[in-house]
Amino acid sequence: MALQLGDTAPDFEAETTEGKIRFHQWLGRSWGVLFSHPKDYTPVCTTELGYTAKLKPEFDRRGVKAIGLSVDPLADHVGWSRDIEETQGCKVNFPMIADPERKVASLYGMIHPNASDTLTVRSVYLIDPDKKIRLTITYPASTGRNFDEILRVIDSLQLTDRHKLATPVNWKPGEDAIIVPSVSDDEASKLFPQGFKKLKPYLRYTSVPR
Ligand code: BEZ
C-alpha cells in the first residue's frame, strides 16, 4: 500500500553524492524533504535541482534537510551536477541518492508503472523530526514542482505544531491563521490574548503569536 500521512518514513541505506547514508541517522532531528526526479540530464529536473540548491538558506532556517533521488547511477549524478551549476548558477548543495536498483524508489512507491515502469515520478515526501510523513505530493514528469509551495507547507506545519492553529486557503507567513475547532472560545481567549475574529462559531481568525 502507498505510504500515507502519519506513516513512519521507511529507513534505508543508499549511495549518494555525499557518500553512503543511513536515512534516519542522516536526518537526525531535522525535518527532511525527500524528492525523486525521473532522470538525470533532463531539462525540467535540471531547473528543479538548481532552484532547490538556491533555497538552502530557507531550508536551513526551518531546520530542513533536502535530498534528491533518481534511478540513475552515481557517476551520472556527479557529471550532471556540473551542468546544473553551470546552467542554474548554483552548486548542488544537498545529497542526491543513486538508486539504480530501485530499492528506495520501490520502498517509497516512487515508480508508478502506468506512467512509466522504469522512471521515478516527481514524488515529494516531507518528513518531521519524529520521522513521520507529513506531506506527500506527486507531479507528472513533464511538470516542474513548485518548491516555494513546499516551503509554505513546512511553514504551515511548523506553525500548527507550535500553536493550536491551522492555515486557511492560500495562507502565507505573516497572514492570520485559523483557530482549530477543538479549542473553545474561552480557551482561545487565553491562548491568543491578542484576540480573535469570530465569523462563525467554527471560523475564527487570529494573528500568529511570535
Ligand atoms: C525533465 O526533467 O525534463 C523530464 C523528465 C522526464 C520526462 C519529461 C521531462
CATH number, residue 46 = 3.40.30.10
Question: Can you tell me the distance from the alpha carbon of 48 to that of 44, in angstroms, rounded to the nearest whole number?
Answer: 6
Question: Given a cut of 90, is residue 118 above it in pLDDT?
Answer: no
Give the domain extent around 176.
Answer: 164-206
Shared domain for 25 and 123, answered yes or no, is: yes
Shared domain for 28 and 122, answered yes or no, is: yes
* Pocket residue to mutate for ligand 1, from 41, 42, 69, 122, most atoms within 8 A of Cβ: 42
Closest residue (by CA) to atom 9 of ligand 1?
A: 142
> For the whole model, what pTM was predicted?
0.96
Could you read off the pLDDT of 104-115 as tens digits, one per residue? 999 999 999 999
Shared domain for 92 and 187, answered yes or no, is: no
Please give the average per-residue pLDDT across 62-91, as a whole number: 97
CA 38 to chain centre: 17
Domain-located, residue 92: yes
Shared domain for 127 and 31, answered yes or no, is: yes
* Pocket residue to mutate for ligand 1, from 39, 88, 116, 118, most atoms within 8 A of Cβ: 39
Shared domain for 48 and 105, answered yes or no, is: yes
Long-range contacts at 170-178 (CB < 8 A, ≥ 24 apart):
173/208, 174/208, 176/205, 176/206, 176/207, 176/208, 177/205, 177/206, 177/207, 177/208, 178/203, 178/204, 178/205
pLDDT at position 209 is: 87
Domain-located, residue 168: yes
Shared domain for 126 and 28, answered yes or no, is: yes
Shared domain for 70 and 174, answered yes or no, is: no
Which residues sit with their C-beta closer than 6 Å to ligand 1? Answer: 38-39, 42-45, 141-142
Question: Given a cut of 90, is residue 165 above it in pLDDT?
Answer: yes
Please give the average per-residue pLDDT across 67-73, as a whole number: 96
Q: How far is the CA of 11 from the centre of ligand 1 (A)?
A: 27
Shared domain for 135 and 70, answered yes or no, is: yes
Domain-located, residue 191: yes
Shared domain for 21 and 124, answered yes or no, is: yes
pLDDT at position 210 is: 80
Tell me the β-bridge partners of 122. Answer: 139
Q: For residue 176, what is the domain's CATH number?
A: 3.30.1020.10
113 grid coordinates: 508503472
Q: How far is the CA of 41 from the centre of ligand 1 (A)?
A: 9
Domain-located, residue 97: yes
pLDDT at position 59 is: 98
Shared domain for 39 and 131, answered yes or no, is: yes
Shared domain for 33 and 111, answered yes or no, is: yes
Tell me the β-bridge partners of 45. Answer: none
- Residue 97 contacts by C-beta under 8 Å, 6 or more apart in sequence? 14, 15, 16, 67, 68, 69, 70, 104
Please give the average per-residue pLDDT across 85-100, as a whole number: 98
Active-site residues, by number, are 45
Domain-located, residue 5: no
Greatest Cα-to-Cα distance within the chain, rounded to the nearest angstrom:
60
Shared domain for 101 and 175, answered yes or no, is: no
Could you read off the pLDDT of 167-186 as tens digits, one per residue? 999 999 999 999 999 999 99
Question: Given a cut of 90, is residue 1 above it in pLDDT?
Answer: no
Helix, strand, or coil (residue 191): helix
Domain count, the chain: 2
Closest residue (by CA) to atom 8 of ligand 1?
A: 142
Question: Given a cut of 90, is residue 57 above it in pLDDT?
Answer: yes
Q: How far is the CA of 72 from the centre of ligand 1 (A)?
A: 13
